[in-house]
Structure 1
Amino acid sequence: MTTETSPSDHGAARAALLAAPGPGGRTRRTALADLTDDWLAGLLTAAGAPAGVALVAVGGYGRGELAPRSDLDVLLLHDGPLDRDLPERIWYPVWDSGAALDHSVRTVAEARAVAAADLKAQLGLLDARHIAGDASLTAALRSAVLADWRASAPARLPELRELGRERAERHGELSFLLEPDLKEARGGLRDVVALNAVAATWLADAPRDGLDAAALRLADVRDALHLATGRATERLSLQDQDQVAERLGVLDADALLRQVYEAARTIAYASDVTWRAVDRVLAARAGRGRRVGRLAFPFGGTFTGAGRGAGAVARGAVERRPLAEGVVEQDGEAVLAQGARPAADPVLPLRAAAAAAQNGLTVSYATVRRLAAECRPLPVPWPDEAREQLVTLLGAGEAGIPVWEALEAEGLVTRLLPDWERVRCRPQRNAVHRWTVDRHLVETAVRAAAMTRRVARPDLLLVAALLHDIGKGWPGDHSEAGEVIVRDVAVRMGFDPEDTETLAVLVRHHLTLIDTATRRDPDDPATVEAITKVVTTLPRLELLHALTEADALATGPAAWSGWRASLVDGLVARAAAQLAGGPAAPAEAAPTAEQERLAIEAARSGGPALALTAQTGAADPSAEPGAEPMGVELTLAVPDQPGLLGTVAGVLALHRLAVRSASLRELDPIGAGPVLLLCWRVAAEFGELPEAARLRADVRRALDGSLDVARRLAERDAAAPRRRGIPTPPPLVAVAPAVASATATVLEVRAHDAPGLLHRIGRALDESGVRVRTAHVSTLGADAVDSFYLTDAEGRPLAAQRAGEVAAAVRAALG
C-alpha cells in the first residue's frame, strides 16, 4: 500500500539516492523513477482521486529512467467529469519540491486527438507507463496510441525524419562537436527515441548491435553532467568535461569525448540504415517499388547480415544492375552479386565501396556485415587492384563519405589501415578545426578529389590527403610521426620506392608551404630555397600545393582565405621556376624480346599480332587455385595506319576491358616500315576476360572496316539503363610547354575514367589528322592521366595554332 510522502521526505530520499556510492547508470535512473512513482502515487491517493482516474508517466519518465535533473512528464488521465481542483492537489506538492513538471489533464479521446495533431506529443505517449490509479485507462490509452501510430506511419514517418533533419541543422553532428548537445544533436539521445518509434510501426527496425550500449553511454554522461553542474543541461561544455570525466572514472576529457563520439556515430549510422529501410518500404507501399511481398523488418529481425545484399534474394524478385565484379545495384544500394565469394576475394570490400561511391550509392548494411564477417585481410603488399580501388573510393569526393562511414561502422577501415584506430574519433581542441582527426582526413580527401586535374599523380594526392595527419595519434610532432607511419603504410599498400618517398615527403611537409608563405619574406631567396630543398621535383611541388589547399579547406573557414592562397600560389610559382631546370626524364625502356617478336610478326604478316599474358604482379597470392587473374598485359603490334589508337581502344571497350595503363610506340623491326606497338594493362569490368583469339579477330575486323566499333558502342550505350553518377571535375585537355619534347607536341589529358574514354580521345585525334607517335596512358583510381606525343603527317611538332585546335577537338569529344 502506497503512503503519502511529503516533498521534503521525497527530496531527502532523492538526494540520498544520488549521493549513494555504488552503481549509477541505468540502475540509478530506474531507482530514481521508482522513487518518484511511489511519491506521485501517494500524492494521487492523498488528493482523493476517484475511480476512473490514472496517473501516467510519458516521455523519458515513461521509459522508466530519470536523469538527476530530468523533467517529470506526467499525464492525469480520466474517463469523465473531474473535480477541477484535483489536478492542483497533485501538482502543487511537486512544484513545492522544486521539481520541473510538464503536466496535462486529458481523457483518452483528448490525448489521441492531441497526438494526431502534434507529432512530439504522440512520440511521448508511445512511452506511456502506468503510475497509479485506474490501470485499465492507461492500458486503453497505450493500445489506442500504438494503433494510431501504426495506422498513420506512412504519413508520420516522413514528418519524424524531417524533425530529425531540422534538429541536426540546429544542433550539428554530435560526433564532431567540442561542446555537443547530448540529446538534440545528430546521433544523440533524441535519435534513439526516433529509432524506437520507427520500430514500433513494425515497418522497419534499426541495427541493434551496439545501439543499446551507445544509448546507455550517452545517458550515463548526461547523468554525470547533471550532477557535476547541478543543472538540467544537455550541453557538454568544455569547462565541465574534466569533472564529468572524473565522475565517470574516465582518464581525461579527451578520452570522454572519444567515448561520446563513438556512441554518437553508432546511433547516427543506425539512423541512416533505418531511414533507408523506411524509404524502401514506403516507396513499395506507394506502388513505386519493384519488390512485393512481406515488408516488415526487411533486414531480418536480428540483423545477422543474411537477406538483402547477402545473396538470399530470389532470382527475379528485384532488379539488379552490375556495378563491378561481384557487386550490383539493388534498391538504390550496392549489394553483393549472387555469385560473389567474399572469402576468396579480399579486395571485394574496397571494390564494392569504390563502385558504390562512384555511382552515388552506399553499401547496404547486410553487405557490409557480410564482408566484415567473411573477407580475409588483404595480403601484404596489397594487390594492385586494392590500391586502385581505394584511390577510386577517395576520388568520389562527397559521395564517398557515407560509404566510408559504413565501412568504419563494421571495423573494415581499421582492418585495412590499423593505424587509423589511433585517430578515430580523436578530438581536436582548437577553434580552427571543425572535425575530429579521422573525419578531417576524410574531408581533406574529399577536397583533394576536386583537385585531381591539377596534378599528374592524383592517386598520390588522394592517399596523402587521407594520411597526412595520421601521426596525430602518436606523441611528438605529428608530421614527423606521420612520415614514419606513411612509409610503412605505403609499402603495405604496394607503392614502389619512389612513390613511397613522395608520400613521405608530402606527409612530413604538409604544413611547410603554408607556414613558409605566411611567416617568411617572399622576396628572400632563402624562402624559395626552404621549399626546393625538401620538394625537389615539379610533380612533388604540384602535389604539395594541392594537398596544402585541400588540408586548409577541410580544416575550416578560418584556415584558408584569398590572402593565404595568394601567398602560397606566389611561393609555389617561384619554387617551380627554380625547379624547372631539373634533370631530364629517363629514356624509355627498350622493347622486350616478346614485344620485338610480335612487332616482327606484324611487319611480316601485315596484320595484327596479339598476346595476352596474366599479370602475376597484381594477383593475390592468397587466392584460391584456379582463380581468375586480376588483370592481364595485352601487347598488340600492328602495321601503322590511320585511326589505329581509337579503333583498338574501341574494341577493348566493346569487350568491357578497362584500360589501367597503356603505352604506344613506333618500331621498325625489319626495315619494312613502321609498326605500332601497343602495350596495355587491362582488366575485365565484370566476369571473365575474353579469349585472345576472339579479341584478335575483332581487332582485325575493326581495322579492315567490317566491324563498326563506334556504332556498336553507341548502340550499347543507348540500350543501357541510365545510372546516376557523381559530379566530377571537368576534363582538362592542355598542350604541354614546348620544352616537354623537342620532336613532338605533347597533349595532356586528365579526365574521369569511363568506358570508352580512350576510344573517344583516339577518334578525336584521328579525325584531327595528326599522328600519335607515342602515348602514355594511366588510370589512377577513377582518374585517367594520359599524354599523347603528336606530330603532323611529315613527323614534325604541331604549330601552336594547330595544337590548340587539336586540344579543342579532344575537349569537345569528352563533353
Structure 2
Amino acid sequence: MSSTDPAEHGYSAERARLLADPDTTGPQRRAALARLTDDWLAALHRAAGGPARTALVAVGGYGRAELSPRSDLDVLLLHEGPLAADLAERIWYPVWDSGVALDHAVRTPGEAREVAAEDLKAQLGLLDARHLAGDPQLTADLRSAVLADWRAAAPQRLPELRELGLSRAERHGELAFLLEPDLKEARGGLRDLVALDAVAATWLADAPRDGLDAAARTLADVRDALHLTTGRATERFSLQDQDQVAERLGVLDADTLLRQVYRAARTVAYASDVTWRSVDRVLAARRPAPRRAARFGFPFNGARRAPIGPAAPERRPLAEGVVEQDGEAVLAQAARPATDPVLPLRAAAAAAQAGLAVGYATVRRLAAEAGPLPVPWPDEAREQLVTLLGAGEACLPVWEALEAEGLISRMLPDWERVRCRPQRNAVHRWTVDRHLIETAVRAAAMTRRTARPDLLLVAALLHDLGKGWPGDHSEAGEVIVRDVAVRMGFDKHDTDTLALLVRHHLTLVDTATRRDPDDPATADLIAKTVGTQTHLELLHALTEADATATGPAAWSSWRASLVATLVERTAARLAGDARPPAADAEVTADQERLAVEAARTGAPALALTAHAETPSDGGEPMGVELTLAIPDRPGLLGTVAGVLAVHRLTVRKAGLRELDPIGAGPVLLLSWTVAAEYGDLPEAARLRADLRRALDGSLDVARKLAERDAAAPRRRGISTPPPVVAVAPHDASRSATVLEVRAHDAPGLLHRIGLALDGAGVRVRTAHVSTLGAEAVDAFYLTSADGRPLEPEHAERVAGAVRKALEAR
C-alpha cells in the first residue's frame, strides 16, 4: 500500500524548511519539529477513521517532544476492542513513504502494561507517553496506570535500571573522556538523562538539578547539528565531523566544542552518581530489618508497640569536623567551614581513605561557605592533599565531586586551563585533567619506591599543567609548578625537585628509546639531569605512572625494560651521591632539662607544647610537639607509641635518640610532632599518667587497642601497596644497622613496629619517623644488646619480623 496524500508532501516540505531555517535552533527547533509532526500524525489518525476508543500516543523521545532532525518516531496506537485490519496501516504507510523512521506498536492498555512489566525499555518509553490524537482519556488512563505500576515496582525496577546504565557505560565508555563519544549511549549522555527522569518519577529520589538542564541542551544541540551535518541518524561524534558541527553551532573550534560536551557529560554523570547513592539509601531503608528480641521493643502481651520515631542516623568520626553517615562522609554538627579553610581537603582525604563518597549536601556546603586557603598553604592542607591523592582509585569519585562544585579550581586556579581539555592523540585515553588525576592514582601504587611519596603524588598531579599554555608543555609546566609549589608552601628544595620532575617527566622514556643504552654517555646525561638518587627514584616512578595512565599504547614491557636499564645504570653513576639521613637537631635547653629529670627520678618526663603553626582563625593548634625523656628499658618504643595510639594521636614526625645527661645511665629522648585524629588533644597530665601505667604494666596497651579495633565498625577502606621493610646497605651507618620501613599510615602503626623490634631483641638507638600525607617513611638505627650493628642474617630476620607484623593488620 502506498500514499500520495498531499498532507504527506506538505509535511515533508515544511519539515525540510524548518530544518534549514538558521534562525530556529536548539530547543525551539526540537519543539517546533514535534508540533509539526504531532499535527501531521493527528491528521493521519483522523483520515484513517476507526472506532472512537482509539488513541495515537507518542512515547520515548518523541513523547518528550525532543525530536532531533533524524530521530525515530516512537508511536503507539492504543485501542479498546477490535480494530479494522488495515486501520494501523492507513496511519503507518504515509510515515514510511515520507522516509521518516518509525517505531510503532498497536496494543490495548492491558497489553501495553503487560509488555512494560516484562520489558524495562518499553516501560521507560511509556513513562513519557503524550497524547497525539483520538480519545485523550484512553491516553490519560494508560499514563496513570503505567506511572502507578512504575512506582509500585520501583524497588525491583530501579536496580535493573541501574544495571542497564552500567552495562551501557561498559560498552560505550565515558562520554566526558572520549575523542569520538556516543552522545546518547555513553556514560553521561542522553540515555542517562532519561534514566534520571525515570528515577524522579518514582518519587523516591531526584537528581541535583543545578546545571542539568543546560547540560541536556548542550548534548541535544550537538546531536541535532551532527544529524544535520552528516544527514544520518548517528549518535557517534566522529573526529571527521567535529569541525563542521562546531561551525554549524557557531563555536570557535572543535576543541572548544568538545570541552563544552565534556563539561555537560560530567554534569550528567555526577548527577547520576549522586542520584543512585540516594536511591541506594532509600531502598536500604525500606528493606525489613531482621527480627530479633528486644528488651523494651514489645509489651509482654506480644502486641507490637508503636515506634516512638525514626532512629537517629549513626555518625562515626573520620577526621576533625568529618563523620561517616549512611555510607558517606559528611560534616560533623560542630564543623564550621567558614572558619576552617582546610576542611574541604580534610573531608575529601578522610572520605577517600575510608573508601567513601562525600555527601552531595556536604560538598555543596563546603563550596558555598569555605573560604580560600591562605597563601602559602598551611602544612595541614598539603598533607591532606597528599593523603587524598594517596588513596588511589578511591580518590577519583571524591575528586570528581570537588571538581563538580568548583572546589578544585578554587584551590588550584591553574587547573581550569586543563579542565576538560581534549588530547587529540590516539595514544591518550583521557582529557588532560583526568589524565593528571589518573597519573596520581597510579603513582599511589608506587609510593613504596621513593623516600618522598608526597613529592611523587604532587608531581603526578601537576606534571601536565603546561598543556594549557602555548609552547612545550614541559617547559611551561616547570614555570607553572614553581609558582604552584610556592603557593602550596613547599620549601625551596622541594620546589626545585617538583620543577625538575615536571620539566623532565618525558626525559627517561625519550632517552631510553632514542639513545644507545650501552653508551656510558647516556647514563651520564641522565645522572647530570637528575643530580641525586632520590630524584632518579622519583622520576622513574613518575615516568611509569604517567605512561600507564596515558593508555596501553604508551607503555609496554619493552619500554619498561629500556627505562629500567637506563635507571639502573644511572643509579650506579650516582651511588656515591646519596644524601645521608638528616642529622639530629641540637638538644635544646628544655629537652636537656627533661632528660636530666628522667635520669634523676627514673620516671618519664614529658612536655607538650603548641606547634608553631596555628590555624589562621586563631583556634586550637593543629598539632603539638611532644617531648618525652624516659630511662632506657626494653619495649620502650612500642609502649610509648601504643599509648599515643590509645589517645588517638597521629605521629606526623618523630625523632629518637639516646643521651646520658648525668652519667647515671642512658635516657631515651623522643621528640615527636603529634596531632589528634579528631576531637581535642589529651591533657598532658592524663597522657603522662597513662605512660606511667603502661610502663609499670597496669595498662595493657595492646589489649586496649585490640578491644577498640574489635568494637569499631568495619569500613570498606581502600587497597594500598604492601609495606616495604628493607635493610639499608651496610655503608648507611658505621655504628648501627639501618632498617627502612615504608607503609601506609594507620592507627597504631608505630606501635606494631616497636613491638616487632622489641620482640626481636634489638635496641633502637635512633629513629627518624615521617608521615607524608598517608604514607609512613621511617628509618630505625638498630644495634644488638652489646651496642654493635646487627649481623646480616640477624638484620634480615628482624626485617622479616617487622614485615610480618605490618602485613598481619
* Match in the other structure for 2:675: 683
| Separation of aligned partners in 2, 1:321 and 1:581 | 50
| Residue 353 (structure 1) aligned with residue 348 (structure 2) | yes
Counterpart-to-counterpart distance in 2, 1:604 and 1:691? 24
Q: Which amino acid in the other structure matches residue 775 of structure 2?
A: D
CA contact (8 A) 2:532 2:578 kept: no
Which of 409, 412, 417 lines up with 2:407 in the alignment?
Answer: 412
Please name the residue that 2:386 is paired with: 391
- Which 5+ residue runs of structure 2 have no aligned equivalent? 292-308
Q: What residue number does 2:300 align with?
A: none
SS at match of 2:770: strand
**Equivalent of residue 717 in structure 1, options 709, 716, 722:** 709
Q: Distance in 1 between matches of 2:611 and 2:585?
A: 19
3-state DSSP class of the match of 1:729?
coil
Task: Look up the SS of the partner of 1:533 in the other structure.
Answer: helix
Query: What corresponds to 2:299 in structure 1?
Result: none
**1:49/1:355 CA distance change after superposition, 3 Å:** same
Q: d(CA) in 2 for partners of 1:173 and 1:327?
A: 31
Q: Do the aligned partners of 1:266 and 1:409 also contact (CA within 8 Å) in 2? A: yes
Report how far residue 608 of structure 1 moved: 1.6
- Pairing 1:616–2:608 present: no
Displacement after TM superposition at 1:668 (Å): 2.2
Contact 1:667 1:677 in 2 (8 A): yes
2:584 is aligned to: 588
Letter in 2 for 1:208: R
CA distance in 1, matches of 2:118, 2:630: 76
Q: Spell out, residue by residue over 1:396-423, the C-alpha distance to the aligned partner (whole angstroms, 9 max, x if none).
A: 1111111111111111111111111111
Q: Does 1:427 align with 2:422?
A: yes
How far apart in 2 are the matches of 1:371 and 1:315? 28
What CA distance in whole angstroms lies between the structure 1 residues aligned with 2:710 and 2:197?
46
**Which residue pairs with 1:516 in the alignment?**
511
Pair 1:236 & 2:237 matched? yes
Q: Report deviation, 1:707.
A: 2.1
Give the C-alpha shift of residue 432 in structure 1.
Answer: 0.7
Residue from 574, 583, 587 that aligns with 1:579: 574
Return the letter of the residue paired with 1:613: T
Q: In the aligned structure 1, how far is the partner of 2:579 from the partner of 2:61?
A: 72
Aligned residues: 785
The offset of 1:289, in angstroms, is: 10
Cα displacement string for residues 233-284 of structure 1 (whole angstroms, at most 9, x for unaligned residues): 1110000000000011111111111000100000011111111111111111
State the match for 2:533 in structure 1.
538
Contact 2:168 2:187 in 1 (8 A): yes
Aligned to 1:302: none
In the other structure, the counterpart of 1:497 is 492
Partner of 1:29: 30
Name the counterpart of 1:322: 317
Partner of 1:367: 362
Are the aligned partners of 1:280 and 1:289 in contact in 2 as well (CA < 8 Å)?
A: no
Read off the aligned partner of 1:149 and give its amino acid letter: W
Contact 1:5 1:42 (C-alpha < 8 Å) held by counterparts: no
- Name which of 694, 698, 718 aligns with 1:702: 694
**CA–CA separation in structure 2 for the residues paired with 1:242 and 1:96:** 33
Within a 5 Å distance, the mapping from 1:770-785 to structure 2 comes to 770-785=762-777
One-letter code of the match for 2:751?
H
Normalised by the size of structure 2, how large is the TM-score?
A: 0.95
Question: Which residue of 2 is the match for residue 767 of structure 1?
Answer: 759
Separation of aligned partners in 2, 1:601 and 1:523: 62
Instruction: Note the alpha carbon deviations across 1:664-713, whole angstroms, 9 max, x for none.
Output: 01122233332211010100011100111111122122222222222222
Matched residue, 1:674: 666
Confirm or deny that 1:793 pairs with 2:785.
Answer: yes
Residues 767/391 of structure 1: CA separation in 2 closer, same or farther (3 Å cut): same
Give the AA of the match of 2:605. A
What is the rounded CA distance, in whole Å, between the counterparts of 1:761 and 1:394 in structure 2?
A: 25
After TM superposition, give the deviation of residue 288 of structure 1 in Å: 5.0
Contact conserved, 1:379 with 1:620, CA < 8 A, in 2? no
| Match for residue 796 of structure 2 among 804, 811, 815 | 804
Following the alignment from structure 1 to structure 2, what is the Cα–Cα distance between the partners of residues 580 and 598?
40
| Equivalent position amino acid for 2:40 in 1 | W
Task: Please say if 1:285 is aligned against 2:289.
Answer: no
Q: How does 1:208-219 map to 2 (within 5 A)?
A: 208-219=209-220
Cα gap change, 1:149 to 1:584, in 2 (>3 Å): closer
- Aligned counterparts of 2:142 and 2:577: Cα–Cα separation in 1: 82
How much has 1:5 moved relative to structure 2? 5.4
Preserved CA contact (<8 Å) 1:467 1:507: yes
What letter is aligned with 2:159? P
2 CA distance for matches of 1:774 and 1:587? 11
Shift of residue 7, structure 1, vs aligned partner: 1.7
- SS at 2:530's partner residue? coil
1:418-443 CA-to-partner distances (Å, cap 9, x unmatched) read: 11111111111111111111111111
Residues 492/289 of structure 1: CA separation in 2 closer, same or farther (3 Å cut): farther
Aligned to 2:748: 756
Tell me how far apart the structure 1 counterparts of residues 393 and 578 of structure 2 sit (CA, whole Å). Answer: 38
Give the Å deviation of 1:41: 1.2
Q: What is the CA deviation profile of residues 332-360 of structure 1, one whole-angstrom value per residue up to 9, with x for unaligned ones?
A: 11111111111121111111111111111
2:646–2:705 contact (8 Å) kept in structure 1: yes
Match of 1:580, as an amino acid? A
| Structure 1 CA distance for aligned equivalents of residues 489 and 798 of structure 2 | 37
Alignment match, 1:649 = 641
Deviations 1:344-402 (A, max 9, x none): 21111111111111111110111111111111111111111111111111111111111
Match of 2:439 in 1: 444
**2:736 maps to which residue?**
744
Cα distance in structure 2, aligned partners of 1:281 and 1:437: 36
Instruction: Indicate the residue corresponding to 1:86 in structure 2.
Output: 87
Counterpart of 2:100? 99
Amino acid at match of 1:552: A
- Post-superposition offset of 1:610: 1.2
Distance 1:316 1:344, change over 3 A: farther
Q: Counterpart in 1 of 2:303? A: none
Question: SS state of the match for residue 500, structure 2?
Answer: helix
What displacement does 1:783 show? 0.9
**CA apart distance, 1:84:** 1.3
Matched, 1:41 2:33: no
CA contact (8 A) 1:204 1:274 kept: yes
Q: How far apart are 1:315 and its partner, in Å?
A: 9.9
Q: What amino acid is the match of 1:12?
A: A
**Alpha-carbon distance between aligned partners in 2 of 1:347 and 1:362, rounded to the nearest angstrom:** 18
Contact 1:283 1:289 in 2 (8 A): no
Q: Secondary structure at the match of 2:664?
A: coil
* Matched letter for residue 34 of structure 1: R
Task: Indicate conservation of the 8 Å contact 2:56/2:78, yes or no.
Answer: yes
Contact 1:5–1:43 (Cα < 8 Å) also in 2:
no
* Secondary structure at 2:529 match in 1: coil
Q: Does 1:632 align with 2:627?
A: no
Q: Distance in 1 between matches of 2:488 and 2:590?
A: 30
Partners of 2:557 and 2:622 lie apart in 1 by 46
1:253–1:632: structure 2 CA closer, same or farther, 3 Å change rule?
A: same
Unaligned runs of at least 5 residues, structure 1: 291-313
What is the RMSD computed on CA atoms of the aligned residues? 1.4
Q: Which amino acid in the other structure matches residue 135 of structure 2?
A: D
Aligned counterparts of 1:134 and 1:813: Cα–Cα separation in 2: 76
Hey, what's the Cα distance between the residues in 2 that align with 1:695 and 1:587?
A: 29
CA distance in 2: counterparts of 1:719 and 1:51, whole angstroms: 70
Does the CA-based 8 Å contact 1:76-1:106 persist in structure 2? yes
Cα distance, 1:75–1:562 mapped onto 2, change above 3 Å: same
Query: Aligned partners of 1:499, 1:289: CA distance in 2, in Å?
Result: 56
Whole-Å separation in 2 of the counterparts to 1:367 and 1:287: 28
- Given that 2:629 and 2:667 are in contact with CA atoms closer than 8 Å, whether structure 1 keeps it comes out as yes
Instruction: Tell me if the contact between 1:664 and 1:679 (Cα under 8 Å) persists in the aligned partners.
Output: yes
Letter in 1 for 2:62: Y
SS at match of 1:662: strand
* Distance (whole Å) between structure 1 residues aligned to residue 223 and residue 171 of structure 2: 20
Which residue of structure 2 lines up, in the alignment, with residue 310 of structure 1?
none
Q: What residue identity is the alignment partner of 2:661?
A: P
Provide the residue aligned with 1:296 in structure 2: none
> Partner residue of 2:296?
none
Partner of 1:297: none
1:338 aligned partner = 333
Give the Cα separation in 1 of the matches to 2:689 and 2:24.
Answer: 78
